Amino acid sequence: MPNKTFFWFFLPTGLAMILFIGLPIISTGIQSFYAQHDQVVKEVKKCDPFGCTVSIVVDNEETSKIREAKPLGKFNGFGTYTDRNHLAVDEIKKFWNETESFGAFVDQVTNLPFYKALIFTLTYCLFVTPNVLLLGFIIALSLNAVARKIRGPLIFGTILPMIVTPLVGSLVLFWMIDSQGIIGANIQNLMNDPYLSLKSSKTLTWITIIIYGIWHHSPFAFVVFYAALQTVPQEPIEAAIIDGASRFQRIKHIVLPHIYPVVTFVALISLMDNFRVFEPIIGFSAEGSAQSLSWLIYDNLVNEEVILFGSAAATSMMTIIGIAILLAPVLIRTWKEFKTAR
């Protein structure tokens, strides 16, 4: 396609992307460098049905004057990024100087909200993505091998987890693992421990969410792999069969190299999706044991009665940077291949 044609072809999409993705990200970026103005408070008398007290309120007249002068807030530079609830630079320095062993240092650091969330997010990505790829590929291969007649219903059944709304899917599992639910109660019986609870143990909660993640995302990998399998040419496979190659060898040397670009694509998309893990934490009411970066943003925006725009914006920017770092190796590789192919 000539460059000019491509340009006109891409223009509407490009404009929409700038308008709905680019500009909001820039605005979020700017917001993250600002904090609220110093609050002007005053002492007043407050009366309610339970009596009167002297207490403080925000002085709205004074505050609105300051706000009109500088509507964005107080410039804070990287202040929000480096505070305790984000990168916690000062705290980490302090821990490094104060703690005696490396283990104690790690303990202290992982107790900070941002790092706690980052560790869960990375663990989730690390376990879910490869398993999704593997499981999706195995299902695609098996379904490709069954008789055509029953393939339709089987495919439908397989993609069901993806059709079910994430929140509903996680709620169903949430109730099943309740200490009186079918899975929870049986595990208690098996382990002979009436105090065992999948929901109160941090490790078990993480495992549950990871299993849920694999269950929910595998169909996506399956659908793409299944489509790719349809394009595998039959001749080399027949030739391999005649040469006496086993099923495993055929897959390793013919099928996998053929669908390799698709594997890269699925890996990229899954990594991006998994890094933004959010719904299962809400669905499983797992805020206590598992927090992800997306959950931190949500928490800053809605869980407080005071909305923390600066905090949420800073975490958003760091999530974007995090995804970019994660994807970098795969992207660089694709780019190199693209260049050699030309």
Partner 1 sequence: MRKILVTLLFLLFGTSAFADCNIKSGSINILANDFPALRTFVETSKQCKGSADFKVTHSSEHNKIAVPALTANPSEFSARIAANSSIVPLMNQDLIRPLDDLVKKYGKGIQDSQLITIDGKVMAVAFMANTQHLYYREDVLKDMGIAVPKTYEEVVAASEKIRASGKMQYPYAAAYKAGWNLAEEFVNMFIGHGGEFFKSGSAEPNINNAKGVATLNMLKKLSELSNPDYLTHDSEAIKVEWESGNVALMTLWASRSGTLLDDEGDPNITKATKLTGPATVGGGNIPAATLWWDGFTLAKNRPDADAEATFRALAHAASNKKMVADAADQAVWLVEGFVPGPKSIGVIEAVKMGAKPYPMLPQMGLMHGALGSEIVEFLQGKESAEQALKDVEAAYISKAKEQGFL
The residue among 40 and 141 lying less far from partner 1, judged by its C-beta, is 40
DSSP SS3 for 195: coil
The residue among 289 and 292 lying less far from partner 1, judged by its C-beta, is 289
Q: Report residue 335: phi and psi, to 5°.
A: -60, -45
- Touching partner 1, residues 157-196 (CB under 8 A): 174, 178-179, 194-196
Among the residue ranges 83-91, 125-133, 163-171, 233-241, the one whose residues contact partner 1 (CB under 8 A) = 83-91
CA dihedral 318, 324, 326, 327 (to 10 degrees): 160
Max alpha carbon distance in the chain (Å)? Answer: 93
User: What one-character-per-residue DSSP string does 267-314 give?
Assistant: HHHHHHHHHT--HHHHHTT-TTT---HHHHHHIIIIISSS--HHHHHH
Select the residue interacting with partner 1 from 31, 33, 80, 218 (CB under 8 A): 80
Rounded Cα–Cα distance for residues 120 and 283 (Å):
16
Can you read off the two tokens belonging to residue 221? 């990998």
Select the residue interacting with partner 1 from 55, 165, 189, 246 (CB under 8 A): 55
Least CB distance to partner 1 at residue 293 (A):
14
Interface with partner 1, residue 93, by CB under 8 A = no
Number of residues that bind partner 1 (CB under 8 A): 59
Least CB distance to partner 1 at residue 4 (A):
44
Least CB distance to partner 1 at residue 36 (A):
4
Least CB distance to partner 1 at residue 84 (A):
4
Rounded Cα–Cα distance for residues 70 and 24 (Å):
20
Decide if 137 contacts 255 (C-beta within 8 A): no
Instruction: Enumerate the β-bridge partners of residue 34.
Output: 75
Interface with partner 1, residue 48, by CB under 8 A = yes
The residue among 218 and 289 lying less far from partner 1, judged by its C-beta, is 289
Interface with partner 1, residue 282, by CB under 8 A = no
Interface with partner 1, residue 57, by CB under 8 A = yes
Q: Letter for the amino acid at 283? A: G
The residue among 63 and 123 lying less far from partner 1, judged by its C-beta, is 63
Rounded Cα–Cα distance for residues 40 and 58 (Å):
6
Query: Contact positions toward partner 1, by CB under 8 A?
Result: 35-39, 41-42, 44-51, 55-58, 60, 63-64, 74, 76, 80, 83-85, 91, 111, 113, 174, 178-179, 194-197, 199-202, 284-289, 291, 299, 302-308, 310-311
